């Protein structure tokens, strides 16, 4: 079945360590997204990528980095510079925005919960 | 800038009762609007979406939503709630090509509790 796979589902990190969250999709979608979810704050956009080898900062990019070397993969690195990294991270994808067809919905993975000890 | 407001943080209804979750948006043009549902510890699932045309949109699981341009609202409704509907619900407004914003903007969510 087509879908988005995030791993790991749970991750614990010591302060000062970088961690990388994996996101893989087999939906053949061009665009991929990373959102952070905190209680009572909804989803906030971290980074997004419209095509391979290109990505843009979202609303809360500080302390995070991404890469898009393959269409299927969009890993997120939470660096030690991120002041409060404990959160639930959601990866999503959708077809590329083109004309009026650009209103496609996002398809989400099951999320990764990161806890800083 | 686009924004989405969900005024109700938490709603409790009895099983079998009707439900309405509120969503107001701020956007300079006709928006693309979405409702998603999230079970605890899970990803988000699309309930329904509005792009254009008929302002009453039908979705999955018996949900519907009505787009009201004059009120900048896109409220979600269900005539009879089931215990399995207990979850968190998110309203979102979509991107329009050429605006520079190419990602959905989400509201803060409404948590629905269903009493037996």
Contacting residues of B for A50, CB less than 8 Å apart: 102
Q: How many CB pairs under 8 A join A and B?
A: 63
pLDDT at A12 over 80: yes
For the stretch B59-116, pLDDT in tens is: 999 999 999 999 999 999 999 999 999 999 999 988 655 555 678 889 999 999 999 9
Whole-angstrom distance, CA of residue A74 vs CA of residue B84: 33
Q: Hey, are the CB atoms on A41 and B102 less than 8 Å from each other?
A: no
Nearest to A39 by CA among A82, A86, A105: A86
| pLDDT score recorded for residue B1 | 67
For the stretch B29-57, pLDDT in tens is: 778 899 999 998 899 999 999 987 888 99
| pLDDT score recorded for residue B99 | 56
| pLDDT score recorded for residue A37 | 96
| pLDDT score recorded for residue A102 | 47
| pLDDT score recorded for residue B52 | 79
For the stretch A41-76, pLDDT in tens is: 889 999 999 889 999 999 999 999 999 999 999 999
pLDDT at A99 over 70: no
| pLDDT score recorded for residue B53 | 82
Contact B38, B88 (CB under 8 A): yes
pLDDT at A97 over 70: no
pLDDT at B12 over 90: yes
Q: What is the mean pLDDT of chain A?
A: 90
Contact B82, B17 (CB under 8 A): no
Which residue of B30, B35, B41, B103 is the best one to mutate when testing the A interface, meaning the one whose CB has the most A CBs within 10 A?
Answer: B103
Q: What is the mean pLDDT of chain B?
A: 90
DSSP B56: E
Least confident of A10-14, A34-38, B30-34: B30-34
Could you count the other beta carbons within 10 Å of the beta carbon of residue B41?
11
Whole-angstrom distance, CA of residue B35 vs CA of residue B46: 6
């Amino acid at each position: 079945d087509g879908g988005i796979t995030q791993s790991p589902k749970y991750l614990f990190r010591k302060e000062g360590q970088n961690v990388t969250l994996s996101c893989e999709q087999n939906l053949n979608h061009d665009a991929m997204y990373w959102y952070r979810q905190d209680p009572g704050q909804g989803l906030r956009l971290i980074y997004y990528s419209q095509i391979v080898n290109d990505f843009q900062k979202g609303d809360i990019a500080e302390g995070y980095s991404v890469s898009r070397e393959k269409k299927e993969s969009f890993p997120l690195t939470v660096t030690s510079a991120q002041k409060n990294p404990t959160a639930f991270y959601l990866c999503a994808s959708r077809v590329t925005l083109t004309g009026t067809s650009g209103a496609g919905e996002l398809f989400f993975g099951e999320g990764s919960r990161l806890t800083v000890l | 800038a686009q924004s989405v407001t969900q005024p109700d943080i938490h709603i409790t209804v009895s099983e079998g009762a009707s439900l309405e979750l509120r969503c107001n948006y701020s956007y300079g043009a006709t928006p693309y609007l979405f409702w998603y549902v999230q079970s605890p510890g899970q990803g988000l699932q699309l309930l329904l979406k509005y792009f254009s045309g008929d302002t009453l949109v039908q979705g999955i699981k018996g949900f519907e939503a009505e787009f009201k341009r004059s009120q900048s609202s896109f409220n979600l409704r269900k005539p009879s709630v089931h215990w399995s509907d207990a979850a968190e619900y998110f309203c979102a407004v979509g991107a329009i090509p050429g605006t520079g914003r190419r990602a959905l903007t989400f509201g803060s969510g409404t948590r629905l509790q269903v009493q037996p």
